[in-house]
Amino acid sequence: MSKMNKTFKLVTAAFAAMVVSTSAAFAAGDLVKAPKQDWSFNGPFGVFDRASQQRGFQIFQEVCASCHSLEYIAFRNLTDIGFSADEAKAVAAEYQVPSEPNDEGEIVDRAAKPSDFWPSPYANAKEAAATNNGKAPPDLSLMAKARVGGADYIYGLLTGYEDHEGTPENLHYNKYFPGYYIAMAAPLSDGAVDYVDGTPNTVEQMAKDVSHFLMWAAEPKLEDRKSLGVRVMLFLLVLTFITFLAYRRVSKKVKGH
């Protein structure tokens, strides 16, 4: 009967070998994954870089906001990235939003307040698509969590434009975009904005800053989460250690008698 056991083991081994018999590498033409970047918010102790976030906000406001909305961010949220309440109020005042109906029942535009959410550049999705070669620019507030790769993907996308033969008209070749042909023209070019803090305004730098900003927009509680997490883990490690010692004492009694 131990022969039978051996046969069994052989069959299992053969099965495992079949699974392991790796052949060629990934099929050619597979999408390249956007390379990982060294973000300050990576890792268990990660925090946002305020200066980068603020520069990223500037890029968003001056470049992306003409096409993309940022639905879940209110002007008051800007205080999270180091702006004062007055500065947030001043930014809000630059925008017009539909007012509440007045006593005559009319809706007129009024200056935005800090409690207002970021206004969409288009009246509706149809208009957004019609103005952009049939593809509506998606909302950016959750973009850094809604794509595989997150902030790395956004950075890759913004720096991944290439000239490519056979690109359909009105579309643009991007090596990191699934399907390669994207309706968004490369939004950044060297010197597109002027940074007040003297940071070089290269495409890479701007892409990095705006991706940083969008990570915050998608996960505004990231810093709270990680700092609480570190404290919770430390507490649990100590608790586990103490419980382990107690367990060892108690279990000695079980084996003994």
Partner 1 sequence: MSSKQFKNPVANWVEKRLPVISPIHHTLFEHPFPRNLNFMWNFGSLAGLCLVIMIVTGIVLAMQYTPNTADAFGSVERIMRDVNSGWLLRYLHMNVASFFFIVVYIHMFRGLYYGSYKAPRELLWIIGVVILLLMMATGFLGYTLPWGQMSFWGATVITNLFSAIPGVGDAIVTWLWGGFSVDNPTLNRFFVLHFLLPFVILGVVILHILALHTSVSNNPLGIEIKGPQDTISFHPYFTIKDMLGVCVFLLLLCAFVFFMPNDMGHPDNYIPADPLVTPAHIVPEWYFLPFYAVLRSIPDKLMGVIAMFAAIGVLFILPWLDRSPVRSARFRPMFRVMFWAFLVICYILGTVGAQAPDNVYVFVVPYLFSFEVSSWMTVLTVGQITTALYFLFFLSLPILPLFEKTKPLPASISEAVLSKSEK
The residue ranges that bind ligand HEC (CB under 6 A) are 59, 63-64, 66-68, 132, 135, 137-138, 143, 147, 154, 157-158, 177, 182-184, 187-188, 210
- Binding partner at 196 among ligand HEC, partner 1, none, C-beta below 5 to 8 Å by kind: none
CA distance 218 to 235: 28
Q: Among 44, 134, 166, 168, which residue interacts with partner 1 (rule: CB under 8 A)?
A: 44
Distance of closest approach, residue 237 Cβ to partner 1, in angstroms:
7
Q: What number of residues does the chain have?
A: 257
Q: Which is nearer to partner 1, 21 or 196 (CB)?
A: 21
- Binding partner at 233 among ligand HEC, partner 1, none, C-beta below 5 to 8 Å by kind: partner 1
- Residues 56-95 close enough to bind partner 1 by CB under 8 A: 72, 77
- Binding partner at 21 among ligand HEC, partner 1, none, C-beta below 5 to 8 Å by kind: partner 1
Does 138 contact partner 1 by CB under 8 A?
yes
- Binding partner at 45 among partner 1, ligand HEC, none, C-beta below 5 to 8 Å by kind: none
| DSSP code for 117 | B
3-state secondary structure of 78: helix
Helices (H), 121-221: 125-130, 143-146, 151-159, 203-218
CA separation, residue 227 to residues 54, 84, 223, 231 (Å): 22, 23, 6, 7
Cβ–Cβ < 8 Å for 218, 140: no
Place of tokens 């990982």: 36
Does 237 contact partner 1 by CB under 8 A?
yes
3-state secondary structure of 110: strand
Output the six-digit token pair for 80.
């999270």
Angle at the Cα of 214 (from 146 to 208), degrees rounded to 5? 115
Output the six-digit token pair for 160.
């991944």
Does 8 contact partner 1 by CB under 8 A?
yes
Does 221 contact partner 1 by CB under 8 A?
yes
- Binding partner at 240 among partner 1, ligand HEC, none, C-beta below 5 to 8 Å by kind: partner 1
The phi, psi pair for 201, rounded to 5°, reads -95, 60
Site string for partner 1, 142-161 (x = CB under 8 A): x--xxxx-x-----------
- Binding partner at 229 among ligand HEC, partner 1, none, C-beta below 5 to 8 Å by kind: partner 1
Crossing angle of helices 50-62 and 203-218, rounded to 10°:
100
Q: Among 67, 132, 220, 223, which residue interacts with partner 1 (rule: CB under 8 A)?
A: 220
Q: Which amino acid is at 67?
A: C
3-state secondary structure of 58: helix
Closest CA to 122 of 67, 72, 71: 67
Does 239 contact partner 1 by CB under 8 A?
yes
Q: Note the residues at the interface with partner 1 (CB under 8 A).
A: 1-2, 4-5, 8-9, 12, 15-16, 18-27, 44, 72, 77, 138, 141-142, 145-148, 150, 178, 218, 220-221, 224-226, 228-230, 232-233, 236-237, 239-240, 243-244, 246-247, 250-251, 254-256
